[in-house]
């Protein structure tokens, strides 16, 4: 027979212990509120809710194996013994970012970054022992800007000022013929990317080339074959994989937190032409028709059809199919690379595209409304791309799984699916609310304040500008260039290598062909051709 006295004593002891715990919790909460203006009962309840929410969050993270997230650490480069001599071909806006990544900045940009508070982050970049010794541009004004950048003695990481001449080259072939150039960075209009890369590979120069990799299927195959048969290190200009966010997303997918992914939606939404496909004219002077000292128009045209000089074509070349494949080549390329780096989806079986010129009636050929559907039946997967240039509504980049969906940009937000199999019990128990993110990860809070233009803010929101490493903001283009240089010096294969470039090029050209020819196009994997 149970001793009622002992039972009562135990119950009493338990009650006392629970009271003590409750009292301790209350004292902890009150202590947390000390020094805060009197909030009364509302403040007390708010603090309790905050504590409860944190406990719930920690439990979810523990259950998912994400409670011990390790932010990446940027380790010093393993070898920097030999100076690497680099030339930049095409010194426009994007080349400025390339130069900054190498540790070089124009004096005017130094002052501008000092004023907006971002200079210190750049100065803290590691010195990679790289000498920017060559500048090539068909426009004299841009070439001069490049030379002034290369000769500036203010260097990131306290970099050495090399006793090496900085030379202006009139043609890219002249630069490639120079034995004093080890590697080149290509930031020219898209239609010249492949021809210059092919020539560089044949000359034995390592290549960092902006997207997209090729303007035609013939260019793509020549690019691939030439680079594969060379010993150069090739990197396509996609910086997203260097982001902390990207690394965490890769871990989330690896741990199967989303369940089976069957649909991915990527988007582009803008409502301004400024800095997107309409570039500002140069304040210090513009190219002059027929003035060979100002611009080499024939070289700029390269393999494109010969047409009279046009300021519109020179600055706003993304509007014309002679030089670009529109939104697919300019913006979808980033979306595709992000998905392909995470899931290795490769080239789709088929693509359909639709859209047109609905809003911007400015003699363009590129669409301002575009929708593409990429089918991967062997992966049970569909990739959607939807773009509007007459709305700035943010629609995100979403990976939709059976159990949860992940929105990926400058942050990660994961919501459980209300009909999830994996999270059914947690949802029923009220631990997970499908209407709000069960996981949020944002190491870059506040960095948007450092960007100003609509285009810069768009790129920041997509995770294309900076990431947080070692407790500071680090430019992702710098990290991507750093990876390329590491591979040149120490061997290895960069993330955006020639295989990834071929898959991207084929996928983008399929979407463009589907749009232009208004039909469904397919990929022939045996002959590696678009049909």
Domain 84-241 has CATH 3.40.50.300: no
The CATH fold of domain 243-279+316-469+498-530? Dihydrodipicolinate Reductase; domain 2 (3.30.360)
Hunting for tokens 């240039």 — which residue is that?
389
276: helix, coil or strand? coil
Q: Are 388 and 355 in contact (CB under 8 A)?
A: no
Which residues are paired to 234 by β-bridges? 207
Decide: residue 83, CB within 10 A, 0-12 exposed, 13-18 middle, 19+ buried.
Answer: middle
Each domain of the chain, given as residue ranges in start order, spans: 84-241, 243-279+316-469+498-530
Q: Please report, for residues 36, 130, 174, 305, 314, the alpha-carbon distance to residue 301 in angstroms, rounded to integers and kept in the order given.
A: 67, 31, 17, 7, 9
Query: Fold identical between 84-241 and 243-279+316-469+498-530?
Result: no
pLDDT tens-digit profile of 20-55? 444 544 454 444 444 444 445 555 555 555 555 666
Which of the two residues, 284 and 89, has the higher pLDDT score?
89
Could you read off the pLDDT of 382-422 as tens digits, one per residue? Answer: 999 999 999 988 888 999 999 999 998 878 899 999 999 99
What does the alpha-carbon distance between residue 87 and residue 164 come to, in Å, rounded to a whole number? 13
Render pLDDT for 332-372 as a digit per residue (tens, 0 to 9): 999 999 999 999 999 999 999 999 999 998 899 999 999 99
Query: Binning pLDDT at 50, 70 and 90, where does residue 276 land?
Result: low
State the pLDDT at residue 96: 95
Which helix (H) or strand (E) covers residue 402, if one does?
none
Q: Is the pLDDT of residue 241 over 80?
A: no
d(CA 36, CA 44): 11
Residue 63: pLDDT over 90: no
Question: Which residue carries 């900076």 as its tokens?
Answer: 466
- Under 8 Å between Cβ of 386 and 395: yes
**pLDDT single digits (tens) 277-291:** 777 778 778 888 667
**Beta strands per DSSP E along 363-448:** 369-376, 381-388, 398-401, 404-408, 412-416, 439-441
Backbone phi, psi, residue 193, to 5°: -55, -55
Q: How far apart (Å, rounded) are the C-alpha atoms in residues 375 and 237?
A: 25
- What span, in angstroms and rounded, lies between the C-alpha atoms of 22 and 3? 28
DSSP lists the bridge partners of residue 416 as 404
| Mode of pairing for the β-strands spanning 183-186 and 261-269 | unpaired
Q: Give the pTM.
A: 0.84
- Among 213, 261, 202, CA closest to 236: 213
DSSP 496-507: T-HHHHHHHHHH
Give yes or no for a contact between 114 and 267, defined as CB atoms under 8 angstroms apart.
no
Over residues 447-475, the mean pLDDT reads 50
What residues contact residue 262 under an 8 Å CB cut-off, 6+ apart? 380, 381, 382, 400, 401, 402
Average pLDDT rounded to a whole number, residues 77-86: 82
């Amino acid at each position: 027979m149970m001793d009622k006295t002992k039972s009562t004593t135990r119950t009493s002891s338990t009650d006392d212990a629970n009271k003590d715990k409750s009292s301790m919790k209350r004292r902890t909460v009150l202590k947390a509120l000390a020094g805060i203006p009197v909030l009364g009962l509302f403040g007390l309840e708010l603090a309790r809710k905050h504590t409860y929410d944190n406990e719930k969050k920690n439990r979810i993270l523990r259950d998912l194996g994400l409670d011990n997230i390790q932010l990446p650490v940027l380790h010093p480069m393993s070898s920097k013994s030999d100076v690497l001599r680099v030339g930049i071909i095409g010194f426009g806006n994007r080349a400025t970012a390339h130069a900054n990544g190498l540790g070089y900045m124009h004096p005017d940009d130094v002052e501008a970054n000092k004023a907006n508070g971002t200079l210190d982050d750049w100065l803290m970049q590691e010195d990679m022992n790289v000498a920017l010794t060559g500048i090539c541009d068909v426009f004299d004004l841009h070439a001069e800007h490049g030379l002034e950048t290369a000769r500036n003695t203010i260097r990131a990481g306290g970099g050495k000022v090399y006793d090496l001449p900085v030379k202006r080259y009139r043609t890219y072939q002249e630069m490639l013929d120079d034995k004093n150039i080890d590697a080149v960075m290509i930031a020219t209009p898209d239609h010249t990317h492949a021809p210059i890369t092919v020539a560089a590979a044949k000359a034995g120069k390592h290549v960092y080339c902006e997207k997209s990799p090729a303007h035609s299927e013939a260019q793509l195959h020549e690019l691939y074959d030439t680079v594969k048969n060379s010993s150069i290190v090739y990197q396509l200009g996609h910086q997203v994989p260097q982001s902390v966010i990207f690394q965490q997303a890769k871990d989330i997918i690896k741990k199967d937190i989303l369940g089976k992914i069957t649909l991915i939606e990527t988007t582009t939404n803008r409502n301004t032409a400024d800095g997107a496909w309409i570039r500002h004219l140069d304040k210090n002077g513009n190219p002059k028709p027929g003035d060979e000292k100002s611009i080499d128009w024939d070289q700029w045209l390269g393999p494109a059809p010969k047409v009279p000089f046009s300021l519109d074509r020179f600055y706003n070349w993304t509007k014309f199919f002679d030089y670009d494949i529109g939104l697919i080549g300019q913006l979808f390329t980033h979306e595709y690379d992000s998905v392909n780096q995470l899931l290795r989806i490769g080239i789709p079986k088929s693509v359909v595209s639709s859209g047109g010129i609905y809003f911007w009636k400015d003699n363009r050929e590129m669409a301002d409304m575009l929708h593409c559907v990429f089918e991967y039946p062997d992966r049970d997967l569909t990739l959607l791309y939807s773009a509007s240039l007459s709305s700035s509504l943010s629609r995100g980049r979403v990976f939709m799984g059976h159990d949860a969906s992940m929105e990926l940009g400058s942050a990660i937000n994961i919501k459980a699916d209300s009909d999830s199999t994996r999270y059914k019990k947690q949802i029923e128990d009220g631990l997970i609310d499908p209407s709000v993110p069960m996981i949020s990860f944002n190491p870059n809070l506040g960095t948007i304040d450092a960007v100003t233009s609509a285009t810069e803010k768009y790129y920041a929101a997509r995770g294309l500008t900076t990431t947080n490493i070692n407790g500071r903001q680090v430019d992702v283009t710098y990290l991507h260039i750093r990876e390329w240089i590491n591979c040149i010096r120490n061997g290895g294969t960069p993330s955006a290598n020639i295989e990834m470039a071929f898959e991207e090029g084929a996928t983008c050209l399929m979407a463009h062909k589907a749009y232009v020819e208004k039909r469904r196009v397919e990929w022939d994997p045996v002959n590696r051709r678009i049909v």
